[in-house]
Amino acid sequence: MSAARSQVKRQTTAAQPEFEPIRVEPAYRKVASALLERITARTISAGERLPPEIELARQFGVHRGTVREALRELQTNGVLKRERGSKLMMVTRPARVDVAAGVSRALALHDVSYHDIWEALTALEPPIAAAAARQRKPKDLTRIASIVGGAVDVGQTADFFRAVGEATHNGVFMLAHEPLVQMLVPALEALIDKVPQAASRIAAAQKRVAAAIHARDSELAQEWMAKHIRDFRRGFEVARIGFEKRVGA
């Protein structure tokens, strides 16, 4: 082979993209993925019990220990649970707070700032309040009223946001804002402690939003929630909480 031809061959080979390494997964992960696929496709419904471990092992063609490890992983993720007195795993829905806690940790690891959280709340909360005004039911009004009537603190403020979210009866809204509410809690604590008028301003805004939701006035609910979120920024400035500060998990 001539030197020129060898040079062309080397250049062609170097230009070709490399193949991705073949991913080798433990058997229990494959079992967990197969079960999760059935669960998310609703082939196995929430509340339904899985077959015994030994039967699952037979169906998958694996050892019972492999099945047990797969079930343990899905249980940790909140997809399965074992009721007291039963040996069988039951399909369940992960609690929103547990899902949100994982998202909150991920956001913290990605170095999000209080400004990022505030900006996201600015985009999310006003439309959520508007949807709550349109979709709320009597039980939602009762819950919101009980929260608004209490003393303003960190827990009460977080519960108010959650109650407004639940009044939308929209699962996406409820899951979307829960991680942000969880991450806002440390800043709220500092805000309420350091700014004397913070509690009264929060209480006043909550009452306005609650009244608009009660009246089914979606525009007013959205407007007052937007003002409420904007007020948080002013509170941060008064409390001298660095808006660019990274949020902890």
Residues 119 and 63 in one domain: no
Average pLDDT, consecutive stretches of 10 residues, N- to C-terminus, the chain (249 residues): 58 69 85 92 89 94 94 90 87 80 79 87 96 97 94 91 96 89 79 84 95 98 96 84 73
Residues 87 and 102 in one domain: no
pLDDT of residue 23: 75
Residues 186 and 136 in one domain: yes
Residues 164 and 191 in one domain: yes
pLDDT of residue 130: 98
Domain assignment present for residue 55? The answer is yes
Residues 29 and 101 in one domain: no
Give the tokens for residue 95. 């609690």
Expressed as residue numbers, the domain containing 227 is 97-239
Q: How far apart are the C-alpha atoms of 78 and 69, rounded to whole Å?
A: 14
CATH number of residue 200's parent domain: 1.20.120.530
Residues 30 and 130 in one domain: no
Q: How far apart are the C-alpha atoms of 75 and 155, rounded to whole Å?
A: 28
Residue length, the chain?
A: 249
Domain assignment present for residue 60? The answer is yes
Domain assignment present for residue 244? The answer is no
Domain assignment present for residue 125? The answer is yes
- Boundary (domain end) residue, out of 36, 65, 91: 91
- Boundary (domain end) residue, out of 39, 68, 91: 91
Domain assignment present for residue 6? The answer is no
pLDDT of residue 170: 96
Residues 104 and 209 in one domain: yes
Residues 76 and 199 in one domain: no
Contact 208, 223 (CB under 8 A): no
What burial class does residue 191 get, using C-beta atoms within 10 Å of its C-beta: 0-12 exposed, 13-18 middle, 19+ buried? buried
pLDDT of residue 29: 92
Domain count for the chain? 2
CATH number of residue 79's parent domain: 1.10.10.10
pLDDT of residue 113: 85
Give the tokens for residue 214. 């009660």
Domain assignment present for residue 8? The answer is no
Domain assignment present for residue 11? The answer is no
- Boundary (domain end) residue, out of 48, 70, 91: 91
Maximum pairwise Cα distance, the chain: 89
Residues 172 and 112 in one domain: yes
Residues 225 and 116 in one domain: yes
Residues 87 and 140 in one domain: no
pLDDT of residue 180: 86
pLDDT of residue 234: 86
pLDDT of residue 137: 97
pLDDT of residue 240: 81
Residues 119 and 147 in one domain: yes
